[in-house]
Amino acid sequence: MQALKYSRQRESIKELLMARHDHPTADMIYTDIREIYPNISLGTVYRNLSLLSDIGEIKKITTGDGADRYDADTHPHNHFICRLCKNVMDLKMEDIGYIKKSASKDFDGIIEDYSVIFYGICALCKDCHKEH
Amino acid sequence: MQALKYSRQRESIKELLMARHDHPTADMIYTDIREIYPNISLGTVYRNLSLLSDIGEIKKITTGDGADRYDADTHPHNHFICRLCKNVMDLKMEDIGYIKKSASKDFDGIIEDYSVIFYGICALCKDCHKEH
DNA sequence: GTTTTTGCAAAGTATTTGCAAATGG
DNA sequence: CCATTTGCAAATACTTTGCAAAAAC
């Protein structure tokens, strides 16, 4: 039975993640957190991101291209990834939670969760024909 | 400009993928295809899966846990992943293509595509309380 | 004959893990 | 003190790549 003990590193990772909204990778977080804890290791960052994700305090976003991203916003919302600049952004759109019911309808198992990612070209890349 | 040349290996990979519906990984395909082409290399499998995916003949499924899966069925449909047995299965459900319109509504960029994955416990794992 | 594809091996990413030392409760 | 977490380094998992030879056209 594993009791959770406080750690400054974990706290700092979560704070950092709550302060930004660009869905950073473990490595981006590692780089930033080193300014506060210069000796923190990448392994610790990965371990804490996994742990926070397991207990539901953050969300892992698997993009299908490169490293996983992390998001401190656990409210139901969807993401968009620009195929040019690769930025991961929040999408403002109406709730589509009912697709879960839709999926459950003729299914014998249990649908617990779902994740949606939209792909395309972001506003900036659309206008400039280059990456951002 | 790159012209596409026939290759038996590529053809075989596509046939194999069309014959099965379990969304295999590159490595599973590699193992199977070796019974036909014992000298095929894993690199060739990866290269062809990428190529087929790029030209839209197959679909890559990124699961967020382990290797990517591949699917020869390119019709719009959604997938379910059991968090116990990790199987990736097709979901029979009504079309939810309108979430794309929903996402486009207040978005300045271009939504080209989307992918949905449902997570939970499959019927078999639900009944047996163990993996399959 | 020129271009594309292959097999092989090596390299490249992303992530996890073993372990002794440090920290938390 | 005992359990958990850390830093470090090594290991692992997955995928891509350089290159000379083979195959396609």
Residue-averaged pLDDT of chain B: 95
CA distance A22 to A90: 9
Is residue A17 over pLDDT 80? yes
* pLDDT, mean of residues B2-6: 93
What residue of A is the nearest CA neighbor of B59?
Answer: A64
The alpha carbon dihedral of B118, B124, B128, B132 has a sign of negative
At residue B60, the pLDDT reads 98
Q: Are A100 and A61 in contact (CB under 8 A)?
A: no
Strand C contacting residues by CB (7 Å): A 5-8, 25-27, 42-43, 46-47, 50, 66-68; B 1-5, 7, 9-10, 37, 39-44, 47-48, 51
Q: How confident is the model at residue B22 (pLDDT cuts 50, 70, 90)?
A: very high
Q: Are A91 and A118 in contact (CB under 8 A)?
A: yes
CA–C1' nearest nucleotide, residue B4: C4
For the question of whether the overall pTM of this predicted structure is more than 0.75, the answer is yes
At residue A127, the pLDDT reads 87
Q: What are phi and psi of A17, to 5 degrees?
A: -70, -35
Q: Are A45 and A30 in contact (CB under 8 A)?
A: yes
* Percent of chain B scoring above 70 in pLDDT: 96
Q: Are B109 and A122 in contact (CB under 8 A)?
A: yes
At residue A1, the pLDDT reads 64
Is residue B74 over pLDDT 80? yes
Nearest to B119 among A83, A113, A120 (CB): A113
Give the number of other CB atoms < 10 A from CB of residue B43.
Answer: 10
Contact residues on chain B for A116, CB-CB shorter than 8 A: 99, 114-116
Q: Are B109 and B94 in contact (CB under 8 A)?
A: no
Q: End-to-end distance of chain A based on CA atoms, in angstroms? A: 46
Is residue B82 over pLDDT 70? yes
Tell me the β-bridge partners of B114: A118
The alpha carbon dihedral of B78, B82, B85, B86 has a sign of positive
Q: How confident is the model at residue B128 (pLDDT cuts 50, 70, 90)?
A: confident
Is residue A75 over pLDDT 70? yes
Residue-wise pLDDT for B90-112, tens only, equals 999 999 999 999 999 999 999 99
CA distance B131 to B125: 6
Is residue B132 over pLDDT 80? no
At residue B71, the pLDDT reads 98
**Tokens matching residue A10:** 């974990």
From the list A98, A79, A125, A123, the residue with the least C-alpha distance to B103 is A79
CA distance B49 to B55: 10
CA distance B70 to B20: 10
Strand D contacts (CB < 7 A) among A residues 4-63?
4-5, 7, 9-10, 37, 39-44, 47-48, 51
Q: How far is the CA of A9 from the C1' of D4 (A)?
A: 13
CA distance A21 to B124: 39
Name the fold adopted by A1-75.
Arc Repressor Mutant, subunit A (1.10.10)
DSSP state of B112: E
At residue B68, the pLDDT reads 98
More confident residue, B83 or B131: B83
Q: How confident is the model at residue B127 (pLDDT cuts 50, 70, 90)?
A: confident
Residues of B with CB under 8 A from a CB of A: 60, 62-64, 68, 78, 80, 82-83, 91-94, 96, 99-100, 102-103, 105-126
CATH superfamily of B76-132: Ferric-uptake regulator, C-terminal dimerisarion domain (3.30.1490.190)
Q: Where are the domains of chain A?
A: 1-75, 76-132
Q: What is the DSSP string of B27-94?
A: HHHHHHHTTT-TT--HHHHHHHHHHHHHTTSSEEE--SSSS-EEES--SS-EEEEETTT--EEEE---
Bases of chain C with protein Cβ within 7 A: 3-10, 13-18, 23-25
At residue A82, the pLDDT reads 96
At residue B117, the pLDDT reads 97
CA distance B72 to B16: 9
Tell me the β-bridge partners of A111: B120
